[in-house]
Amino acid sequence: MLNHIIWDAVFAGILASLACGLGVLPLYFKKIDNQKQIGIGYGFAGGLMFSASVYNLILPGLQMEGHQIEIVLALKVVAGILAGTFFIWLVERYMDTHESKTVENWGGKGVVLIFIAMCIHSIPEGVAVGVGYTSGELHSSSLGDYIALAIGIHNIPEGLAVAIPMRLAGMSLGRCFFMAVFTSIPQPLAAIPAVFLAWFFQPLMPSLMGFAAGAMIFLVILEMIPDALQQESAVKIAWAFIWGFCTMILLQIVL
């Protein structure tokens, strides 16, 4: 029975990961001029990531455990946000002092940090899938299926948020697709220990979601918006950010 649950969780996590690659599809129909649209693209992608942080991570984290926003629950989320922020700050400082050819080949520090932040973002989602398959009665996988489907759907616009900066950095569409999918690989990997240790991971979910949100929000403020402002006026970047923010909200409802 346990092996069956593990395979269900891993398979669901893999499908949810592949859904992230679907976010690249709009770029097949919309040509991006690397020089003219890099500022707008970064602003729009920043709005997508900020919206995902708030609506897919922070708010669900605050609504766990009986759907009540309790002070202990809020403190768990806040602690996670601060830890995620501190982690990305450390990574950014390390990259500033250890610039390498590898970072340049990836499109620069900003693209690498986006990749890291989105990988982190996938970990609590994978844990949620694993915990979902072991919640309640073990013979029923409907909760796990529902969670995996929901995560797969919201992975689509998140894949777009990953792909836009990478495309602007000059990556091919095929590589953008691969990298978008790769950022979600932690989902099936995290689902496996979550199946065995659901009792351990469930109380940690608010902090894990806060950690991922903090990493993404800090990245948007630290790298994406300043880079965008170097290319375009503040007004245009602000509008691009708002459009990205609203687009993520609408896509979550439509999809």
The pLDDT tens digits of the residues spanning 201-243 come to: 778 888 888 998 999 899 899 888 988 888 888 999 999 999 9
What are the sequence ranges of the domains in the chain? 2-254
pLDDT value of position 83:
94
C-alpha distances in angstroms, 196 versus 42, 201, 205?
39, 10, 15
pLDDT value of position 50:
92
pLDDT band at 138; cut points 50, 70, 90: very low
pLDDT value of position 146:
64
d(CA 241, CA 252): 17
- Arithmetic mean of pLDDT, 53-63: 86
Q: Is the pLDDT of residue 89 over 70?
A: yes
d(CA 238, CA 254): 24
Q: For 96-130, what is each residue's pLDDT tens digit?
A: 776 655 555 555 677 778 888 888 888 887 787 77
Q: Who's near 161: CB < 8 A, 6+ residues apart?
A: 23, 45, 48, 49, 52, 118, 244, 248
For the chain, the average pLDDT equals 79
Q: Who's near 100: CB < 8 A, 6+ residues apart?
A: none
C-alpha distances in angstroms, 210 versus 23, 48, 213, 215, 226?
24, 17, 5, 9, 23
- Arithmetic mean of pLDDT, 67-74: 75
What the block records as the tokens of 131 is 């915990």
Q: Is the pLDDT of residue 199 over 80?
A: no
